[in-house]
Structures are given as structure tokens and as C-alpha cells.
Amino acid sequence: MKTRKIMANQCISGELTHTDNVMNNTFWIGVQPALTIEMLEFAVSKIESYLGIN
């Protein structure tokens, strides 16, 4: 299986204000194409439970 490096050999030019904001203030969850609807719904239910939404 081939994979891509997310941040491979990137050159930084200037301020990364918006990038820093996203990296520091976003909830990240890993996903990949083989996940089923049931698996995704399970992840959503756990996140909702943690946040007190459901």
C-alpha cells in the first residue's frame, strides 16, 4: 500500500498564523478509506459522548 507523507519537504515562507490556529485549535481524528459507516458512526458517538452532546 502506498502512502503519502503529509508534510514532506515543505518550505515555509512568511508567517503561518492561520496554519498555527488550525493546528492548535482543531480536534483531529484519523480516518482512512477502509472505515465502514458503522465504524464512523461509532467514532462520532464517542466524540458526542465526550463532548456531552448525546
With 0.95 as the threshold, say if the pTM is over it. no
- The yes-or-no verdict on residue 4 having pLDDT over 80 is no
**Tell me: the pLDDT tens digits for 19-54?**
888 888 888 888 889 999 999 999 999 999 999 997
Among candidates 13, 17, 33, which has minimal Cα distance to 25? 17
By the 10 Å C-beta count (0-12 exposed, 13-18 middle, 19+ buried), 43 is classed as: middle
pLDDT at residue number 42: 94
In this prediction, residue 9 carries a pLDDT of 60
For the chain, what are the domain ranges?
Answer: 30-54
Residues found in the chain: 54
